[in-house]
């Protein structure tokens, strides 16, 4: 990796952005935006990202000094995402049995008693999806178990989002994974065990290979 951030010019619609899919696998991704005015972006120096010539005049200062410094406590207040390697997972734990109680209280109304009845998204399916979108569920489609934590903590239950404690979130994830036959009934989810869960759909996900141009339709 280059010791500095490098922003590439896009040449007539074909360029590349580098992405990391999965854990630590660096893959070159095709399919950049390719603006006709692509040449205006310059390589950057010293870790300072280059600005758009459209926006920043040459006589602009290196830094404007707008905004307030965010200390660790301020960042921690909002830094709630969880990544596949477990980064961001809080302390706490929950078992399948504890999760069953949480599920009954908060989830059944929208997802059904077995996570298949709806009316909202189907959560449980151990078979290959047969039809879009009804067949897609955690068990056969979600590539990472950590995504459950990221999403449930942020957006569930729908009418009272953010209400669940870490123990409850871990528990309900354990229960959902158990219903999908991914973890055993005595499983306990925490910051160590959750990222270690290998989801059935993990290896199905591939990089977008559409590149524009007159080649084959993708």
Partner 1 sequence: MPREEGSKLSRRAWITTTSGVIAAGLVKTQSDAIRLVAQEAPVSASDPTRVPGRLVSGIGSRAPAEQPRRLVRAEALSSSSRTPLADLMGTITPADLHFERHHGGIPDITYENHEVLVHGMVDRPTVFRMSDLTRFPQVSRVQFLECSGNGGGVYNRDRMPTEVTVQALDGLLSTSEWTGVPVSTILREVGVRPGASWILAEGGDAAVMSRSVPLDKVMEDSLLAYGQNGERLRPEQGYPVRLFNPGYEGNTCVKWLRRIEVTDQPTHTRDETSKYTDPLGDGTVRQFSLMMDAKSVITFPSYPYVLPEQGWWEIRGLAWTGRGRIVRVEVSTDGGRSWVDAQLQGPILPKSTVRFRHLFEWNGRDTMLMSRATDETGYVQPTVQQLWEARGPSTSYHQNHQRAWKIARTGEVTFGLGELV
Site for partner 1 in 48-107 (CB under 8 A): 48-52, 54-57, 60, 63-64, 66-71, 74-75, 78-84
161: Cα separation from own chain's centroid:
18
**φ, ψ at 98 (rounded to 5°):** -65, -40
Q: Name the residue among 7, 8, 12, 9 with its Cα closest to residue 34.
A: 12
116 scored as a contact of partner 1 (CB under 8 A): no
Half-sphere exposure of 22 (CA within 13 A, CB side): 14
**CB closer to partner 1, 81 vs 186:** 81
Euclidean distance between CA atoms 200 and 16, whole angstroms: 30
Site for partner 1 in 117-156 (CB under 8 A): 128-129, 131-133, 136, 138, 141-144, 146-147, 150-151, 154-155
Considering only residues 34, 92, 112, 200, which one is a binding residue for partner 1 as defined by CB under 8 A?
34
Euclidean distance between CA atoms 11 and 213, whole angstroms: 12
Considering only residues 28, 47, 59, 196, which one is a binding residue for partner 1 as defined by CB under 8 A?
47
**CB closer to partner 1, 44 vs 116:** 44
Q: Would you call 173 helix, strand, or coil by DSSP? A: helix
Contact flags string 171-210 toward partner 1, x per CB under 8 A: ------------------------------x--xxxxxxx
Can you read off the two tokens belonging to residue 36?
């006709």
Q: How many residues bind partner 1 (CB under 8 A)?
A: 92
């Amino acid at each position: 990796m280059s010791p500095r951030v490098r922003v590439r010019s896009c040449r007539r619609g074909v360029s590349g952005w580098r992405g990391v899919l999965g854990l630590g696998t660096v893959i070159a991704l095709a399919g950049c935006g390719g603006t006709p005015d692509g040449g205006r972006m310059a390589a950057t120096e010293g870790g300072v990202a280059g600005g758009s010539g459209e926006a920043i005049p040459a006589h602009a200062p290196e830094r404007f000094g707008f905004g307030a410094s965010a200390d660790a406590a301020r960042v921690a207040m909002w830094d709630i995402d969880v990544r596949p390697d477990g980064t961001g997972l809080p302390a706490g734990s929950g078992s399948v049995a504890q999760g069953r109680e949480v599920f009954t209280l908060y989830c059944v109304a929208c997802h059904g008693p077995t996570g298949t009845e709806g009316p909202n998204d189907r959560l449980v399916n151990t078979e290959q999806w047969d039809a879009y979108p009804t067949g897609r569920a955690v068990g056969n489609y979600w590539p990472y178990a950590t995504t459950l934590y990221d999403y449930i903590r942020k957006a569930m239950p729908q009418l009272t989002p953010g209400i669940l404690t870490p123990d409850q979130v871990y528990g309900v994830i354990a229960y959902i994974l158990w219903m999908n036959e991914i973890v055993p009934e005595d499983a306990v989810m925490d910051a160590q065990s959750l990222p270690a869960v290998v989801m059935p759909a993990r290896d199905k996900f591939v990089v977008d290979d559409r590149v524009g141009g007159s080649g084959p339709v993708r």
